[in-house]
Chain A
């Protein structure tokens, strides 16, 4: 017997895939049943405010070498083959392949004296993005952008936190919302400038058809729920509600609407596409965006590092340089905190696992940030001649987080609550804002 053609009014499988994924993310959060709406709207009108601050975190996954980024030691035995270049800040020289960031150095702050103590990728990723060390004892800590999404909720129909790309493989997933629950999970996009996966087609008739099916679903839910435990039903409906709001905002992620000239400045790479998308999202009011630089620990240059390091640095500099230029040109720089960092640095010794390369190094590493009130042109801390130790002004990850929160108008001494226990924003409430950049 021939299989009947699927009638057009039957649900499209793709919208179920997306809604199922969103529903399961909520269920996995444990506390998130029924909470999806909060990803898109402020539950507490008293706390909601017009979004005034943004963050774009470009995560340099794998541990970027400070020698080949912001703290070159050219000519020293530990210096490697790269040269350095003078920046727009007198006396500050950075890697030769960061020509855009050199030009823009007078808009950014550089910290050369970061120090931490977790040299494993998983642990380092976790600490560098949650402010807490991984532990089974207390609640799973949230990504700091999930904290921002909670503390600075967005009113309206846009997602509060979007992730562009993620680290793959095993236990190196990007930290989620932790004990905050699925409401504050970043909306995941697979990278390379793409929007959320499995979004149903954009044609007007598809949206109308979706809305008719949505009305039918809601009607059926309304008849089902009286006298029953409704949390799962609300969560299920909310997942479809997310899909509906994404459909209504799907232009948000559509890079084909960007002029070619603008897109070209970011470079023809996955990172370039994602930085362009981050700029687009922020322009349209999305407050918090995380960009993953490549999938697969791109900066983890243990082996034959210098064959590929200059390519990686160059593509990073092109994309991030264009992003910063764009934010400045569009009047968003004063409201957008751009953070460029990985989970640790790399060894002064060029030993590697297959020389020449550099292994993990937590004692002294670098990062950079700018915008949103960060004092421009500042260099915090320094390392010794060979980059083997900090010379002055060590900065910890809790200090960094205290600084981020302060710049965003969040009290870094805030304590959240999990099962009646106070949970500080950084481990044990440690960390002091870096006054030099404020």
Chain B
């Protein structure tokens, strides 16, 4: 049975008491095998929560308190991922470093097992391959890099983007991965040969070199559970593409965030105002050509809208849990809301 509703469960919050403003969220992940929520935030450490801890009210805020772990030496953690077997955490930071942390007892180790200077710019995105053997990173130096997941030894550097990169994602079968960034392009790479298979134009690249965050190309991207659809969100719009052909098949006026459920045909997108659909993949269609044969925009996401969620300004961080039953939504006030998908 496909999901039919979303229900807000709990709010998770983290703060270390230093007087410096809230720890704004930027990425959210669920541990694949344990009931743990993780987030990259405005700090050199990541936020970690036990999903089952109780909420408590502190200074008019009712939330589950988290801890900060996995420290980089400086800057902010920009991205994180957990290996499919749940045994390793990888973090990338504005300090250019990629760190691999052993996972035990519900949290990362105090010190990284491996640490490497990965890019000449900020490490903006990181993902484990579905088989756990490789890690791929995307940096502000426009490079996509492949690493051995056990040793962090470099395997390959892929070039082709210009400008800062923002996100990358594997297809669930591990056959391809996709990178996207400020140049407004999505590059589809063969995960075995590292050949560039396809270039997909998202658009909205900014000629002011990112001065307007509303533009600046692709912010986040994700691949559907069957590997057929690629969704990308930019400063003003969401586009869903057929991954095999690069044809746009749906569009919405939603910005910045996007995530597919790994278990159901459910798509979430948007930051300030997020929407969640049980989408109908049979009805994804490119726009019909106009009288001159020029392609037109595709229609909205087909299917049933399950929820509209107001998150407030600059709410960043969106991901489903491995079993598809939870949706984590990061917010600017140092919080993550977790919703049940049922």
Contacts and interface: CB of A to CB of B under 8 A. Distances in A.
Contact of B209 (A75, A314, A350, A352): A314
A205 B221 CA distance: 59
B21 A311 contact: no
B78 A81 contact: yes
A82 interface: yes
B74 A74 contact: yes
Interface stretch (B192-200, B211-219, B294-302, B319-327): B211-219
B208 to A, nearest CB: 7
Interface stretch (A115-123, A253-261, A301-309): A301-309
A351 B21 CA distance: 5
Contact of A75 (B73, B140, B211, B332): B73
B76 interface: yes
A195 interface: no
B95 A311 contact: no
| Interface size class, chain B | 20 to 34
Nearest to A72: B74
Interface string B66-104: 000000011110100000000000000011100000000
Contacts of A373: none
Contacts of A388: 19
B20 A304 contact: no
A158 B20 CA distance: 50
Given A75-B73, A81-B76, A83-B75, A355 B212 contact: no
A298 B42 contact: no
A310 B16 CA distance: 26
Given A77-B18, A349-B20, A312 B94 contact: no
A30 interface: no
Contact of A350 (B21, B96, B213, B313): B21
B147 interface: no
A325 to B, nearest CB: 21
Contacts of A190: none
A176 interface: no
Contacts of B209: 269, 311, 314-315
Given A74-B74, A81-B78, A351 B22 contact: yes
Contacts of A354: 313-314, 332
Given A83-B94, A351-B21, A354-B314, A308 B211 contact: yes
B20 A74 contact: no
B19 A349 contact: yes
B20 to A, nearest CB: 4
Interface in A10-65: none
Contacts, number: 85
Given A74-B75, A82-B75, A354-B314, A308 B210 contact: yes
B333 interface: yes
B24 interface: yes
Nearest to A315: B209
Interface string A62-91: 000000000000110111111100000000
Given A75-B73, A75-B74, A307 B210 contact: yes
B333 to A, nearest CB: 7
Given A75-B73, A81-B94, A82-B94, A350 B211 contact: no
Given A311-B211, A349-B20, A355 B314 contact: yes
B107 to A, nearest CB: 21
Of A83, A294, A311, most buried by chain B (CB within 10 Å of CB) is: A311
Given A78-B20, A311-B211, A355-B21, A304 B314 contact: yes
A377 interface: no
B177 interface: no
A315 B211 CA distance: 10
Given A80-B76, A82-B94, A308-B212, A350 B42 contact: yes
B222 interface: no
For A82, A348, A352, A355, the residue with the greatest tally of chain B CB atoms inside 10 Å of its CB is A355
A349 B21 contact: yes
A80 B23 CA distance: 11
Contact of A311 (B42, B94, B210, B332): B210
Nearest to A78: B20
Interface in B1-58: 16, 18-22, 24, 42-44
A311 B16 CA distance: 30
A356 interface: yes
Interface string B147-171: 0000000000000000000000000
B122 interface: yes
Contacts of A353: 313
A355 B216 contact: no
Contact of B42 (A82, A315, A348, A355): A355
Contacts of A82: 75, 94
Contacts of B122: 81
A66 to B, nearest CB: 15
Contacts of A386: 20
A351 to B, nearest CB: 4
Nearest to A267: B209
Interface string A308-349: 101110110000000000000000000000000000000011
A312 B95 CA distance: 19
A294 B211 CA distance: 10
A79 B74 contact: yes
A356 B21 contact: yes
A298 B20 contact: no
Contacts of A308: 210-213, 216
A355 B332 contact: yes
B70 to A, nearest CB: 15
B234 to A, nearest CB: 12
A83 to B, nearest CB: 6
A269 B209 CA distance: 9
Contacts of A310: 140, 210
Nearest to B16: A77
A74 B76 CA distance: 10
Contacts of A81: 42, 75-76, 78, 94, 122
Contacts of A352: 21
Interface in A422-437: none
B202 to A, nearest CB: 17
Given A74-B75, A82-B75, A307-B216, 10 more contacts: A75-B44, A80-B76, A81-B42, A307-B213, A308-B216, A310-B140, A351-B22, A352-B21, A353-B313, A356-B332
Interface of A: 74-75, 77-83, 269, 294, 298, 303-304, 306-308, 310-312, 314-315, 348-356, 386, 388
27 contacts: A75-B44, A77-B16, A77-B18, A77-B19, A77-B20, A78-B20, A79-B74, A81-B42, A81-B94, A83-B96, A306-B76, A308-B212, A308-B216, A311-B209, A314-B209, A315-B209, A348-B20, A349-B20, A349-B21, A350-B24, A350-B42, A351-B22, A355-B21, A355-B22, A355-B24, A356-B24, A388-B19
